[in-house]
Amino acid sequence: MLVGDSGVGKTCLLMRFKDGAFLAGTFISTVGIDFRNKVVDVDGMKVKLQIWDTAGQERFRSVTHAYYRDAHALLLLYDVTNKASFDSIQAWLTEIQEHTQDDVVLMLLGNKVDSAQERAVKREDAEKLAKDYGLPFMETSAKTGLNVDLAFTAIAKELKQRHTKAPSEPRFQLHDYIKREGRGASCCRP
């Protein structure tokens, strides 16, 4: 599930991942909730991701809450050019804690990193927040595609392993994976 304030780029991130496209300048706010499927290859196994795109607007919150408990993973987005969207992250985390399963996979993404001139959230501040909460963190761009596939692939790898891992197989390390594979990506352990 993609969550975060309205306008942070959840729909664009999903469209970039699903279709490899970005429609500049169009902002059609999501109404309620929508989903897309994409099959990805994870270490030779086909994994079908059902990705739910939620409306960031407050008035749809009760609709989206109903879907949280079935989510296996959440991508929590803020917009690096919008400080308010970063300030909302703590409230989102409280909401997530209240409504999701205990073992939900969670990743923090700072989107729109292509807009360097308009940056309003320092990367170090986000890294600190991520570290405090033990979250994997990356900066992304739905516009250029930076780290978009990686975010979804990392989630797919984690979920696949949860369902299929043999006891002898080493555990997939999500934090280490994105740190290694990400371009300008980072992540933090608590």
Ligand X SMILES: Nc1nc2c(ncn2[C@@H]2O[C@H](COP(=O)(O)OP(=O)(O)OP(=O)(O)O)[C@@H](O)[C@H]2O)c(=O)[nH]1
Question: Site residues (CB under 6 A) for ligand X?
Answer: 6-12, 24, 27, 29-30, 55-57, 111-112, 114-115, 141-143
CA torsion 29-35-40-43 (nearest 10°) is 100
Considering the complex, what minimum distance in angstroms separates the CB of residue 168 from ligand X?
41
Residue 89, SS3 per DSSP: helix
List the one residue out of 154, 140, 146 whose CA is nearest residue 40.
Answer: 154
Which tokens is 6 given?
A: 């309205």
Q: How far is the CB of 32 from ligand X (least distance, A)?
A: 10
Residue (34 or 127) nearer to ligand X, CB: 34
What is the smallest separation between the CB atom of 125 and ligand X, expressed in angstroms?
Answer: 19
Compute the least distance from the CB of residue 155 to ligand X, in Å: 18
Q: Where are the beta strands (DSSP E) in 115-159?
A: 136-139
> How far apart are CB 21 and ligand X at their closest, in Å?
11
Number of H helices, E strands in the chain: 7, 7
According to DSSP, residue 47 is labeled: E
Minimum CB distance to ligand X, residue 37 (Å): 18
**Nearest CB to ligand X, comparing residues 77 and 93:** 77
Nearer of residues 27 and 66 to ligand X, judged by Cβ: 27
The whole-angstrom separation of Cα 104 and Cα 70 is 9
Decide whether 55 or 73 has the Cβ nearer to ligand X. Answer: 55
Nearer to ligand X, 8 or 174 (CB): 8
Which CB sits closer to ligand X, 145 or 173? 145
CB 63 within 8 A of CB 34: no
- Residue 155 tokens read as 């989630």
Quick check: helix, strand or coil at residue 159? helix
Residues paired with residue 130 on neighbouring β-strands, in sequence order: none
